[in-house]
A and B are shown apart, each in its own frame.
Chain A
Amino acid sequence: MIHRIVVGAHYGLKDWLAQRVTAIIMAAYSLFLAIVLAAVQPVSFEAWRNIFTFGPVKFFTFVFGLSLLLHAWIGIRDLWMDYVQPVSVRLTLHVLTIVALIGYVGWFVTVLWRV
């Protein structure tokens, strides 16, 4: 019988690739937002808010949020896999990480879509 650990590494190629694709998306967004901020120079509430009412900014910001979810999940999961050996503790930390990240995305989306 093959001994399998539920919180083991699996093959991980998809995760490895997702980590890199999300990194490129977030890097592109960072440059995009830096250019927008440098151009608009928002100091007032209205100017700051107006940036996020613009459709393409909202779209790209949302994609950034989802990329961050996936990127942070893979990164923090790797951290637990490297430093936490007991399966029960590791599984608990995995679940807590997922719960936190899913909650953050919900929070992020409500803030973004109320603008």
Chain B
Amino acid sequence: MTATCQTSVRKRPKHLGLSAILFQIKLPLPGKLSILHRASGVLLFLLLAPLLAFFQMSLTSPEAFASFQGYAAHPIIKAIFAVLIWAYMHHFCAGIRFLLLDAHTGLDLPSARRSAFLVFAASLLLTALLCWRILL
């Protein structure tokens, strides 16, 4: 009797390593949306300084504006801008969803899953649209 009981006792607390977090745990779509909301926010924060530098460059003088255009034409900078546009769009769309959830709108599971899907669809579509209009 005691033997069967002991097998059901799990080791707690369970500490998860990075590989478990990345590869073992399968998050549902709203969970993926949530962690990407955080990740995109951190990315936007980290890129504030270079963005400010570009903002300054673009507004200081015609010469500085021209050198800003030179930087912006570089493929690596364009790739970073594309990621940045995605981060802004995901943070924006997911943020609106969180505001609606705060207002107790769409809290049931089917609605929450559907709105998570809508956020991914909208943010990826907006990212594609803006990349096409601004970067190409």
Where the two chains meet, the residues of A that have a C-beta atom closer than 8 Å to any C-beta of B are 20, 23-24, 27, 30, 45, 48-49, 52, 72, 75-76, 79, 100, 104, 107-108, 111, 114-115
Where the two chains meet, the residues of B that have a C-beta atom closer than 8 Å to any C-beta of A are 38, 41-42, 44-45, 48-49, 52, 55-56, 58-62, 65-66, 88, 92, 95-96, 99, 102
B65 near A48: Cβ-Cβ < 8 Å: yes
A104 near B96: Cβ-Cβ < 8 Å: no
| Cβ–Cβ < 8 Å partners of A108 in chain B | 52, 55
B56 near A79: Cβ-Cβ < 8 Å: no
Q: Name B95's contact: one of A23, A100, A111 (CB within 8 Å).
A: A23
| Cβ–Cβ < 8 Å partners of A100 in chain B | 48-49
| Cβ–Cβ < 8 Å partners of A79 in chain B | 38, 42
> In whole angstroms, how far apart are the Cα atoms of A3 and B79 in the complex?
48
> In whole angstroms, how far apart are the Cα atoms of A75 and B98 in the complex?
14
| Cβ–Cβ < 8 Å partners of A75 in chain B | 38, 41, 45
| Cβ–Cβ < 8 Å partners of A24 in chain B | 99
A111 near B48: Cβ-Cβ < 8 Å: no
Q: List 15 A-B contacts (CB under 8 A).
A: A24-B99, A27-B95, A30-B92, A45-B61, A48-B59, A72-B44, A76-B41, A76-B42, A79-B38, A100-B49, A104-B48, A111-B56, A114-B59, A114-B60, A115-B59
- Identify the interface centre among B42, B52, B62: most chain A CB within 10 Å of its CB: B52
B59 near A49: Cβ-Cβ < 8 Å: yes
A48 near B58: Cβ-Cβ < 8 Å: yes
> In whole angstroms, how far apart are the Cα atoms of A92 and B55 in the complex?
29
A76 near B45: Cβ-Cβ < 8 Å: yes
B60 near A27: Cβ-Cβ < 8 Å: no
| Cβ–Cβ < 8 Å partners of A76 in chain B | 41-42, 45
Known A-B contacts A24-B99, A75-B41, A75-B45; A111 and B52 likewise in contact (beta carbons under 8 Å) = yes
Q: Which residue of B lies closest to A82 (CB)?
A: B38
